[in-house]
Chain A
Amino acid sequence: MKFSFFHLMPYPYLPDDFDTAYDSSALTYPNANFDPKLGSALYARYLDELEYADKLGFDGIAVNEHHQSAYGLMPSPNIMAAALTRRTERARIMVLGNAIGIRGNPLRVAEEIAMLDLLSGGRVDSGFVRGIGWEYFAHSINPTKSRARFDEAHDLIIKAWTSEEMFSWYGANYEYRYVNIWPRPLQSPHPPVYIPGAGSTETMKFCAAHRYTYMSVYAPTRIVRRWFDGYRQAAADLGYVPDPERIAFSVPVYVADTDSRAHAEARPALEWLYHRGLKQTPEMVTPPGYMSPGSLRGVLMSGMQGFRTQSYEDLLAAGQAVVGSPATVAARLRSLYDELGGFGQLIGLFAIGPSTHEQVTRSAELFATEVMPELRPLGVATDATSA
């Protein structure tokens, strides 16, 4: 099992009347509520936490991209990754990922990831995401083109990284007469690719076909199980069994010395994450054309409900957060491992909503020293399962 420390870099200081006064923490939530002085201090603190995770022995430290939102303060994950390259030694620097569905110029992404790969000495993992619903409003990108833009940008970036000859690109969405990137990435053939999935069968097949790591987004265990099985089936259809490491389970994790202390501290943090940070209207979640008819039907049939209807207890029961003492957390993750049919990477969100710096670092320390060793042997490819 490999473990990474994932950061969203939230802006936790929401006003007291947030629940009644605002539809969402994103898109239309006025940026008058953002205090740049507090934001600057948050960046320093959050980078310290990621750097500390490297020292604690996490295999990866992860950042991601969000726009116009208090949920996550990283419009450019590559800038944060660049900051991390010079202050960390060992951990993979995981960009999970660049939202290539909404980028105007995907060649720029190929160039920046190549730069990061050189800066980090070949430690970069490159996630690609479509960008979530509200970001198609925020960046004025037509959501009906989302899938096509994502697919074409991906193909272009991979070719730009791997081609040693200048080439021209004529696609439905992008045209370049000269593709000839300098620098080229350090890792060969290119940095490992991660793709988050949220139930779309297109994404499962895409990941399986390219042997990319398929990572879950936050959802109830029974639904994540269906996604992981879908990915395993897509690989089986192609005649192989995926390395467990190609399946990554993402979940918020909070560890404290005792169960009671962990729950007391995690409850407000997780309620912030699911009820405020992720507060969105249905129109923001699925702008027109963002989902294929088949995927939308799947979501509707699954009966998945909005996070707001889930209490803290519901979230724990559904495997959308793992909280407790080190022993409790290790046991719970073991049972989730079984319920999900196995996975080889755990992407933990340790800095949850308004958690304090002391809480986050203590939780990460306990996890690294007491939970990781317990779980380390799980999810490792054996000769029987190796692809």
Chain B
Amino acid sequence: MPYDTPIEEYVELAGGRVHMFRGGTGEPLLFLHAAGGAGTWLEFHGRLADAGFEVLAPDHPGFAKSDDFPLVEAMDDLVYHYLDLLDALRLDRVHLVGASFGGWIAAELAVAASHRLRSVTLLSAAGLRLPDHPVPDLFLMPPTRLAETLYHDPPPAPEGSAAGPDIDAVLAAYRDSTALARFCWAPYLSNPKLERRLHRVSVPALVVAPSDDRLIPVAHARRYAALIPGARFTEVPDSGHAMYFERPAEFAAAVTGFLQSSPSGPSRASRGGSLSGADQ
């Protein structure tokens, strides 16, 4: 059974508290969750920990048990937010893994601060604007359509409760979706400038796509792989965009296989060292 006893902790930053799971021992691995994945430690996280990593899984600003951080308004602020978190945790360099929305943050962090990373792994990352391969509007989808879009093999819809909706659960979901919309309503789930900046990524990179991604077309992952210098690309069969919810073992294996095979020494490019005020 994968590791399932993480520590739950809060990290104080200037703008509020970050809720975070921490589990396993080894090189630090910062995992940035997908839009729907806040506040949970799942089989997938446990398998990463089992492979010999200290897995750090924070909730993004405004998601689950993290504070709102109202001044973290857009993607550029999120990049500084995570650099602040690395500083607060006194982590010099981490393996960075991000899924979907978290994958977009990971790509932006790798562009801005590869010197704080040992590697970067993008699991069907959002972030690119490819008009020929549009991402359907998450915010307009009714729950059943959303499940059909996220899963290769959608789970049965939950039965309605006779007591009516659980108001606290509705409010919690609305808070997560509000936090997501803050960062990605328009431009929708993307930064039009990201493509032209990806050449700056200077650590080993892996791009993973589920074979049947109905939310973020696989063309996005292929574009990431083409534009990040030296990136590897792999596909996980029989999976939808829910990735680590639908195929936790396969996605964990893709990530840990890459991390265990790639050099995790100093970054290939040395730029940034003398300029990095954030480096400790």
Contact residues of A with B, CB < 8 Å? 28, 136-137, 140-144, 281-284, 286-289, 291, 293, 296-297, 300-301
**Contact indicator A300/B177 (Cβ below 8 Å):** no
Q: Considering the chains assembled together, what is the distance between the CA atoms of A140 and B185 in angstroms? A: 8
Q: Considering the chains assembled together, what is the distance between the CA atoms of A208 and B35 in angstroms? A: 39
Given contact pairs A288-B177, A289-B181, A293-B175, A141 touches B140 in the complex (Cβ within 8 A): no
**Contact indicator B182/A144 (Cβ below 8 Å):** yes
Chain B residues, Cβ within 8 Å of A286: 174
Residue of B nearest to A27 (CB): B140
**Contact indicator B142/A289 (Cβ below 8 Å):** no
Residue of A nearest to B170 (CB): A300
How many residue pairs bridge A and B at CB < 8 Å? 54
**Contact indicator B142/A144 (Cβ below 8 Å):** no
Contact residues of B with A, CB < 8 Å? 137, 139-142, 165, 167, 170-171, 174-175, 177-178, 180-182, 185-186
**Contact indicator A281/B139 (Cβ below 8 Å):** no
Q: Considering the chains assembled together, what is the distance between the CA atoms of A144 and B180 in angstroms? A: 10
Chain B residues, Cβ within 8 Å of A297: 167, 171
**Contact indicator A301/B174 (Cβ below 8 Å):** no
Chain B residues, Cβ within 8 Å of A283: 139-142
The secondary-structure label for the interface of chain A is: helix
Q: A137-B139, A143-B185, A283-B142 are in contact. List 7 more A-B contacts (CB 8 A).
A: A140-B186, A144-B185, A284-B140, A288-B174, A289-B182, A297-B171, A300-B167
Chain A residues, Cβ within 8 Å of B174: 286, 288, 291, 293, 296
The 9 A-B residue pairs with the shortest CB-CB distance, nearest first, are: A288-B181, A289-B178, A142-B185, A288-B177, A288-B178, A144-B182, A140-B186, A300-B167, A144-B181
17 contacts between A and B (CB under 8 A): A136-B185, A137-B140, A142-B182, A144-B181, A144-B185, A283-B140, A286-B174, A287-B181, A288-B174, A288-B177, A288-B180, A288-B181, A293-B175, A296-B171, A296-B174, A297-B171, A300-B165
Given contact pairs A142-B181, A293-B171, A297-B171, A287 touches B139 in the complex (Cβ within 8 A): yes
**Contact indicator B178/A144 (Cβ below 8 Å):** yes
Chain A residues, Cβ within 8 Å of B178: 144, 288-289
Q: Considering the chains assembled together, what is the distance between the CA atoms of A300 and B168 in angstroms? A: 10
Q: Considering the chains assembled together, what is the distance between the CA atoms of A288 and B170 in angstroms? A: 12
Chain A residues, Cβ within 8 Å of B165: 300
Q: Tell me, rounded to whole Å, the shortest Cβ–Cβ distance linking A13 to chain B.
A: 25
Q: Tell me, rounded to whole Å, the shortest Cβ–Cβ distance linking A173 to chain B.
A: 11
**Contact indicator B181/A143 (Cβ below 8 Å):** yes
Q: Tell me, rounded to whole Å, the shortest Cβ–Cβ distance linking B65 to chain A.
A: 15
> Which among B165, B170, B177 has the highest number of chain A CB atoms within 10 Å?
B177
